[in-house]
Structure formats: structure tokens, C-alpha cells
């Protein structure tokens, strides 16, 4: 009986320590990657502003060919929603909505993850000039926040690498698509 009490006490102490650490651990995180595409800025922007085109280059869009998709609104404009649902736990269920389009420069999205866990992120794609007008720098990134006490996971997960590698894959696919 005494051994069981000691084990329970140790577990409680560990949980309390982890909860205290989570109070002070970072809650915000962000990831951004970029690529240079050998196409003029307006050509690149005209392609990336349409969320449906992400199906052609986003790593996540290619992870489940049987994923259910739903679109609402006018693609390329504020308020357009692209939703997905997959049995693949790496894809899950969610939607992204265009929040703002700064023509020729930037698209801002809100991504709402529903499964396997609920979360919201702000994402963006930015086009900028490269060394000459026939080339474009594209930045793809997002920012999010993990609520307490789930933010403790940020101490053990390298979000920069995990999500950054997926952005790099997507941007490489985008470059290959647009430079054909």
C-alpha cells in the first residue's frame, strides 16, 4: 500500500511540475519558407491566389487522393473557403478561408483544423521581386498559438522542421509547376 502511495505521489508531482513549466513555455510559433520562381510576379500571384491550385503543389493536398473536398464562394477572393476531410490522421479535417487579398503581393488565410485536434492558424503567401522582373520570390508561412497546457508539446516538437519541410516541398512543387 505504501509503495502505491509513493508511486501516485511521484506521478502527481511530475504532473504538477509539467503544468508549471507549461505556464512559462512559449505558446506562439511560426514557420516560413521561400523559393525563387523564374516567372514574373504577376504570373505567379495570378496562380497562387486561387486556393484550388494548392491541390497541385501543397504536400498536404497530395497525402490522401481520396480526401473529400468542398469549396464555398469565389476562389481567389476574400471569404472563399476550401474544406477537406480525410481518414488519414496526418491530413484530418479542416478548412481554410481567404481573409484578405492584396493584389499582386499577398494572400492571407485562416486555417481551421478540426480533426485530429482543434486549432487555428493564420497563414499567408507573399510574392516579392527577385533580382530582375522575370523572377519572383514566394514566401509561404503561418503563425499559430497552442493553448495552455498543450503548449508544453512545443518543448518536444520541432515545428520549424516538421511544418517547414512540408512548406519547402510545396514551394518546390509550385516552382516546378510554374516553370514548366
Do strands 81-85 and 136-145 pair parallel, antiparallel, or not at all (unpaired)? unpaired
**Which structural domain, as residue segments, surrounds residue 92?**
28-178
pLDDT score recorded for residue 157: 81
Query: Grid coordinates representing 15?
Result: 504532473
pLDDT score recorded for residue 67: 92
pLDDT score recorded for residue 132: 82
The total of structural domains in the chain comes to: 1
Which range among 20-34, 95-109, 110-124 has the greatest average pLDDT? 95-109
pLDDT score recorded for residue 133: 81
Confidence of residue 158 (pLDDT cuts 50, 70, 90): confident
Between residues 142 and 154, which one has the greater pLDDT? 142
133 lies in a domain? yes
pLDDT score recorded for residue 159: 80
8 Å CB contact between 43 and 178: yes
88 lies in a domain? yes
pLDDT score recorded for residue 97: 98
14 lies in a domain? no
pLDDT higher than threshold 90 for residue 130: no
Q: What is the CATH number of the domain that holds 36?
A: 3.30.530.20
pLDDT score recorded for residue 70: 96
pLDDT higher than threshold 90 for residue 19: no
Which of 38-42, 59-63, 99-103, 167-171 has the weakest average pLDDT?
A: 59-63
- Rounded to 5 degrees, what angle do the CA atoms 162, 44, 38 make? 85
73 lies in a domain? yes
- Kindly state the DSSP code that residue 147 receives in the 8-state scheme: P
pLDDT digits (tens, 9 = 90+) for 44-82: 999 999 999 999 999 988 888 889 999 999 999 999 999
7 lies in a domain? no
Between residues 26 and 68, which one has the greater pLDDT? 68
15 lies in a domain? no
8 Å CB contact between 164 and 147: no
pLDDT score recorded for residue 168: 95
pLDDT digits (tens, 9 = 90+) for 73-109: 999 999 999 999 999 888 899 999 999 999 999 999 9
Q: How many CB atoms lie within 10 A of CB 165?
A: 14
Amino acid at each position: 500500500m505504501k509503495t502505491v502511495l509513493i508511486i501516485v505521489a511521484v506521478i502527481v508531482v511530475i504532473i504538477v511540475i509539467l503544468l508549471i513549466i507549461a505556464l512559462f513555455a512559449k505558446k506562439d510559433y511560426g514557420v516560413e519558407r521561400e523559393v525563387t520562381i523564374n516567372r514574373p510576379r504577376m504570373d505567379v500571384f495570378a496562380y497562387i491566389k486561387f486556393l484550388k491550385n494548392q491541390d497541385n503543389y501543397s504536400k498536404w493536398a497530395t497525402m490522401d487522393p481520396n480526401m473529400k473536398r468542398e469549396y464555398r464562394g469565389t476562389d481567389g477572393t476574400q471569404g472563399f473557403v476550401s474544406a477537406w476531410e480525410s481518414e488519414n490522421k496526418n491530413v484530418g479535417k479542416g478548412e481554410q478561408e481567404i481573409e484578405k487579398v492584396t493584389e499582386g503581393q499577398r494572400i492571407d488565410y485562416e486555417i481551421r483544423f478540426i480533426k485530429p485536434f482543434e486549432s487555428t492558424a493564420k497563414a499567408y503567401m507573399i510574392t516579392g521581386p527577385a533580382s530582375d522582373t522575370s523572377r519572383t520570390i514566394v514566401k509561404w508561412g503561418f503563425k499559430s498559438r497552442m493553448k495552455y497546457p498543450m503548449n508544453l508539446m512545443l518543448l518536444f516538437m520541432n515545428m520549424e522542421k516538421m511544418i517547414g519541410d512540408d512548406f519547402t516541398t510545396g514551394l518546390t512543387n509550385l516552382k516546378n509547376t510554374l516553370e514548366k
